[in-house]
Structure 1
Amino acid sequence: MDKMRIALLGGAGRMGRAIKALADCQDFPPREDGAADVLIDFSSPEGTAEAAAYCQEHGIPLVTGTTGLDDDQQAAVREASRHVPIVQSGNMSLGIALLQRLVAEAARSLEGFDIEILETHHRYKKDSPSGTALLLGEAAARARGTALSEAARFERHGRDDERRAEEIGFAVRRGGGVYGEHDVSFLGEGETVSLSHTALGRDAFARGALAAARWVIGKEPGLYGMGAVLGLDPER
């Protein structure tokens, strides 16, 4: 397809403006005189649930990078994915998609190594830890046969108990204008392995979202991650 007809939800936000700078988009919902080939969503959890229902009703593929969905909102996305193809990811960077795969491989291979995740973002970011940090934690937890909800540890202040071998620790920094830095460390008794990604601008996420939009058009209904866009994983 030479030119996509893109509807954009969240166009006034930072990510929405970055996508608009790279592609011709119409605001959501699509104008009556031009149906959309795909809807890209960077809005709010409530907006994502609305977008999923709209896409299900109108048969439009969805690409969403919105984070912080509660169980009901995520259920709406999953229900819509039974009818239309959806790419959902807390980070649309192609580099992060590859990093997820590398983190999973390291978690499987480095048995007995402790896993710690450090993320840094600009002072305006609201959710913590970032959706990307949680994606990386989920990749590590799945690789070790556990759920992140069981392994994650978000707070150590004031605790005097020892680290559980199976836990995945998270640390968060907020400040300045940092677009996004993520470091996953595997700490052994005699060595440490670190995998990291640094976003140099929002263009990385916007280009990934547009790549996902091109990829998802014509796909079978299902809930896909960015790994599928890279050909790494078939579905979420």
Structure 2
Amino acid sequence: MATEIIVLGAKGRMGSTIARLADNDPDYALCAVIEREGNTDGLEVYSTFVSTNLQDALLKYPSAVVIDFTVPKVSLDTVKCCKEVGGKAVIGTTGFSSEELSYLKENSKDISLLWAPNMSVGINVLLKILPQLVKILGEKYDLEISEIHHKFKKDAPSGTALKLAQCLAEARGVDLDKVGKFCRHGIIGERSSEEIGVQTLRGGDVVGDHTVYFLGPGERIEITHRAHSRETFAQGALRAAKWLAHQKPGKLYSMSDVLN
């Protein structure tokens, strides 16, 4: 049976990709596409329910999974709406504050909710193997991350870079809020062994590049993930939605849960 999908922000870079893929894949039924008031022109190409109101779509298709790659404020409204009418949601939005993430976790007790800053299978496999490298290489290896995205991206560092940094910090048993270095400028002194650096580059139309560095005595290891197309993330989001459609509330699910 096809998984019913509602795409929020259907004219955005990610939303349009997800809607197109869902509309052309028999494993999914694109039930509705949602956009803000005055921005729905062209969405009739999908031959589905077009609306500016998510609640209307959820009431019409109560079994559908909402996929939301928008901005934090809109995504929080999505969660609120799902809670009010009993919907399920896959959230790929980045840039949440710690308080906003706490809101997602709290509401995941009542609705089936999945959040991941990166939906690609490759990145989520990387998150599984990085802790092993940290432990095997030991404390003599300095940990750094660089990320590059297109010039239109609004948040920095990327949600993926932060997730990678948190993964490294947890493997080291340290608090990223205390050891993270997100900008270096001027006479800053020697690098401490505890630091985890996260550096941001923006420009052009780069979909997303992330490199994790293990900088040791006499050698270095670089692990790079490059997303060649937004379809990588869109396919992951659809896979997550298919999985979430059969899950009950109780925790804030992640791509790790899907892959396991």
State the 1:219 CA deviation.
1.4
CA contact (8 A) 2:145 2:199 kept: yes
Structure 2 unmatched runs, 5+: 24-29, 35-53
Please give the TM-score of this superposition, normalised by the length of structure 1: 0.92
C-alpha distance 169-31 of structure 1, shift in aligned 2 (>3 A): closer
**3-state SS, counterpart of residue 87 of structure 1:** strand
State the 1:136 CA deviation.
0.5
Alignment map for 1:177-216 (pairs within 5 Å): 177-216=205-244
1:27 matched to 2:33? The reply is yes
**3-state SS, counterpart of residue 186 of structure 1:** strand
Which residue in 2 is equivalent to 1:121? 149
Which residue in 1 is equivalent to 2:256? 227
Aligned residues: 230
Q: Which has the larger radius of gyration?
A: 2
Which deviates the most, 36-45 or 23-32?
Answer: 23-32
> How far apart, in 2, do the equivalents of 1:71 and 1:149 lie?
11
RMSD: 1.5
State the 1:32 CA deviation.
4.3
CA contact (8 A) 2:142 2:196 kept: yes
Please give the TM-score of this superposition, normalised by the length of structure 2: 0.84
> How far apart, in 2, do the equivalents of 1:56 and 1:172 lie?
35
C-alpha distance 90-31 of structure 1, shift in aligned 2 (>3 A): closer
State the 1:81 CA deviation.
0.4
Which residue in 1 is equivalent to 2:15? 16
State the 1:73 CA deviation.
2.4
> How far apart, in 2, do the equivalents of 1:34 and 1:91 lie?
27
CA deviation string 1:162-190 (max 9, x = no partner): 11111100121111111111100101112
Which deviates the most, 130-139 or 188-197?
Answer: 188-197
Kindly report structure 1 stretches of 4+ aligned residues shifted beyond 4 Å: none
> How far apart, in 2, do the equivalents of 1:149 and 1:73 lie?
16
Q: Which amino acid aligns with 1:122?
A: H
**3-state SS, counterpart of residue 182 of structure 1:** strand
C-alpha distance 31-136 of structure 1, shift in aligned 2 (>3 A): closer
CA contact (8 A) 2:146 2:211 kept: yes
Which residue in 2 is equivalent to 1:45? 72
State the 1:160 CA deviation.
2.8
Q: Which amino acid aligns with 1:215?
A: W
Structure 1 unmatched runs, 5+: 232-236
Which residue in 1 is equivalent to 2:47? none
Which residue in 1 is equivalent to 2:38? none
> How far apart, in 2, do the equivalents of 1:41 and 1:31 lie?
13
- Of 83, 96, 100, the residue aligned with 2:127 is 100
State the 1:71 CA deviation.
3.5
Identity of aligned residues (%): 40
> How far apart, in 2, do the equivalents of 1:91 and 1:97 lie?
8
Alignment map for 1:35-114 (pairs within 5 Å): 35-112=62-139, 113-114=141-142
